[in-house]
């Protein structure tokens, strides 16, 4: 997608209608742009194309299948070959049984969503990362307890292995994980191949948002929202589908091809204010910026910035833009989620484990304009 820079030249009551029409045009249809039905389970073919037998995924829980789908989707979005994605599936299946583990010896990990509790040293997550080694490097316990961040970690590490594009999947899994049992990964290759075939295509542009976190209907914007908020949301919506890039985005658009969460918000606010409101490229600084007016959760309007704070922390680790509600009344968030996941709209409830701080930008600017 080519990044668009919204130039706001209209004013007054007609502006909101114009912006709403722009947004409706961008996301019209039965589903949000980029959303599609999830890949049906068991419909792929096993290795050795031509076999008439569907892949059998019996015995996996919904959570395990969701994680496998995410591993495939993120790998495909990064343009990685099948062997590398298979290696990631083999590693997660071996290390955690495709589960997001907390650890009883890392009490803080128990505060985050998890599928099981282990006690192997200080290892957590689907790839069993040692918190003493990786927590600080990846952004804290909240990051290593995030399955998507761990998936990105595996692929980042895999790309540093010599000859990674053509390595045997079991060898590549071992090169990344450095296990004391290097032969264990090969035992999961057949299962990993079946999972890959079942979810192959989940990372294609038409299926990028087809996971359980993709809303079924477009957001409803306008109505009780402000003109400025509608402009913020319209600017952000222009970037749907762009890649997540750590540190990406500035007031003029994507950098290095994409956005991170705070980069998307600072861009949208800068565009809506025609450069008069310039936010820092750090969520904690944005949430404390005096240009943002605090808003209670039950008073949110489209275009408000929503900052997420993990239990026990004071600084936010993620931010997005409130995108209104779908036709069932569920609140939605426009955001740049994480490595391998492009800019998208998803349910606000996906972040239920965090506390929220809402800031509305533009209020002081509009008041100042009224007094001039």
- The 10s digit of each residue's pLDDT in 228-248 is 998 999 899 888 888 899 999
* Range 83-100 average pLDDT: 96
Q: What is the pLDDT of residue 7?
A: 23
Short-list 108, 92, 302, CA closest to 191: 92
Contact 147, 155 (CB under 8 A): no
Distances (CA, A) of 178 to 54, 95, 128, 137: 34, 11, 11, 18
Q: Show Cβ contacts of residue 178 under 8 Å, excluding neighbours closer than 6 positions.
A: none
Short-list 244, 265, 270, CA closest to 256: 244
> Which one has a higher pLDDT value, 44 or 325?
325
Reply yes or no on whether the pLDDT at 44 is more than 90. no
Based on the fold, state whether residues 165 and 273 are members of the same structural domain. no
188 found inside a domain: yes
Bridge partners of 320, per DSSP, are: 306
- What confidence tier does 366 reach under pLDDT thresholds 50, 70, 90? low
Tokens 């087809």 identify what position? 210
Bridge partners of 347, per DSSP, are: 332
Q: How much is the mean pLDDT over the chain? A: 78
User: What is the CA 294 to chain-centroid distance, rounded?
Assistant: 25
8 found inside a domain: no
> Which one has a higher pLDDT value, 52 or 148?
148
Q: What is the pLDDT of residue 364?
A: 63
Most confident of 240-244, 258-262, 351-355: 258-262
Q: What is the pLDDT of residue 363?
A: 78
Based on the fold, state whether residues 253 and 364 are members of the same structural domain. yes
Short-list 189, 200, 235, 253, CA closest to 361: 235
pTM comes to 0.50
- What confidence tier does 218 reach under pLDDT thresholds 50, 70, 90? very low
Which element (helix H / strand E) includes 4? none
46 found inside a domain: no
- What confidence tier does 225 reach under pLDDT thresholds 50, 70, 90? low
Based on the fold, state whether residues 222 and 194 are members of the same structural domain. no
In angstroms, the CA 13 to CA 258 distance is 33
Based on the fold, state whether residues 79 and 165 are members of the same structural domain. yes
Q: 160-202: per-residue pLDDT in tens?
A: 999 999 999 999 999 999 998 888 999 999 999 999 988 888 7
Based on the fold, state whether residues 147 and 235 are members of the same structural domain. no
Q: What is the pLDDT of residue 281?
A: 94
In angstroms, the CA 17 to CA 223 distance is 10
Query: For 238-305, what is the HEC assignment?
Result: CCCCCCECCCCCECCECECCEECHHHHHHHHHHHHCCCCCCCCCCHHHHHHCCCEEEECHHHCCCCCE
132 found inside a domain: yes
Based on the fold, state whether residues 145 and 268 are members of the same structural domain. no
Q: What one-character-per-residue DSSP string does 131-161 give?
A: HHHHHHHHTSHHHHT-HHHHHHHHHHHHTTS
52 found inside a domain: no
Based on the fold, state whether residues 184 and 221 are members of the same structural domain. no
Short-list 260, 230, 177, 305, CA closest to 20: 230
- What confidence tier does 204 reach under pLDDT thresholds 50, 70, 90? low
In angstroms, the CA 23 to CA 253 distance is 18
Give how many domains the chain has, as a whole number: 2
280 found inside a domain: yes
Based on the fold, state whether residues 191 and 226 are members of the same structural domain. no
Short-list 309, 277, 290, 262, CA closest to 359: 290
Give the SS3 label for residue 58. Answer: coil
Based on the fold, state whether residues 362 and 270 are members of the same structural domain. yes
Q: What is the pLDDT of residue 133?
A: 94
CATH of the domain at 326: 3.90.1720.10
42 found inside a domain: no
Kindly report the CA angle at 127 between 245 and 113, in degrees rounded to 5?
80
Based on the fold, state whether residues 97 and 140 are members of the same structural domain. yes
Domain coverage including residue 180? 62-199
Based on the fold, state whether residues 77 and 178 are members of the same structural domain. yes
Reply yes or no on whether the pLDDT at 334 is more than 90. yes
Based on the fold, state whether residues 286 and 222 are members of the same structural domain. yes
193 found inside a domain: yes
Contact 315, 139 (CB under 8 A): no
- At 241, give phi and psi (nearest 5°): 95, -10
Tokens 């204010």 identify what position? 273
Tell me the CA end-to-end span of the chain in Å, nearest whole number.
39
* Range 241-259 average pLDDT: 91
Reply yes or no on whether the pLDDT at 104 is more than 50. yes
Q: Quickly list H helices, the chain.
A: 13-27, 62-77, 82-96, 131-138, 141-144, 147-158, 169-177, 189-199, 227-237, 261-272, 283-288, 363-370
């Amino acid at each position: 997608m080519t990044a668009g820079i919204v130039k706001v030249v209209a004013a007054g009551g007609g502006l909101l209608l114009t912006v709403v029409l722009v947004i409706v045009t961008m996301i019209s249809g039965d589903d949000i742009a980029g959303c599609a039905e999830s890949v049906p389970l068991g419909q792929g073919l096993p290795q050795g194309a031509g076999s008439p037998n569907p892949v059998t995924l019996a015995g996996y829980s919904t959570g395990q299948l969701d994680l496998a789908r995410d591993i495939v989707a993120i790998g495909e979005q990064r343009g990685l070959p099948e062997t590398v994605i298979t290696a990631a599936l083999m590693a997660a299946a071996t290390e955690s049984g495709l589960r997001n583990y907390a650890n009883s010896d890392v009490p803080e990990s128990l505060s985050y969503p998890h599928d099981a509790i282990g006690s192997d040293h200080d290892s957590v997550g689907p790839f069993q990362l040692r918190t003493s080694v990786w927590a600080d490097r990846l952004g804290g316990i909240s990051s290593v307890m995030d399955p998507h961040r761990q998936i990105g970690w595996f692929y980042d590490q895999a790309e540093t292995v010599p000859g990674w594009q053509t390595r045997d999947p079991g060898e590549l899994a071992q090169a990344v994980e450095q296990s004391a049992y290097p032969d264990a990964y090969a035992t999961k290759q057949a299962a990993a191949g079946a999972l890959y075939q079942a979810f192959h295509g989940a990372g294609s542009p038409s299926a990028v948002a087809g996971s359980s976190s993709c809303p079924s209907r477009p957001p409803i914007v306008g109505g009780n929202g402000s003109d400025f908020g509608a402009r913020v949301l319209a600017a952000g919506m222009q970037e749907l589908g762009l890649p997540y890039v750590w540190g990406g985005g500035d007031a003029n658009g994507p950098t290095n091809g994409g956005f991170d969460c705070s980069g998307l918000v600072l861009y949208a606010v800068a565009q809506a204010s025609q450069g008069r409101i310039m936010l820092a490229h750090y969520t904690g600084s944005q949430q404390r910026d005096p240009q943002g007016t605090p808003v209670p959760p039950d008073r949110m309007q489209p275009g408000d910035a929503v900052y997420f704070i993990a239990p026990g922390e004071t600084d936010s680790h993620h931010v997005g833009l409130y995108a209104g509600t779908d036709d069932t009344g569920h609140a939605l968030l426009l955001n740049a989620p994480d490595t391998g996941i492009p800019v998208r709209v998803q349910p606000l409830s996906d972040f239920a484990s965090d506390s929220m701080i809402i800031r509305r930008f533009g209020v002081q600017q509009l008041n100042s304009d009224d007094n001039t």
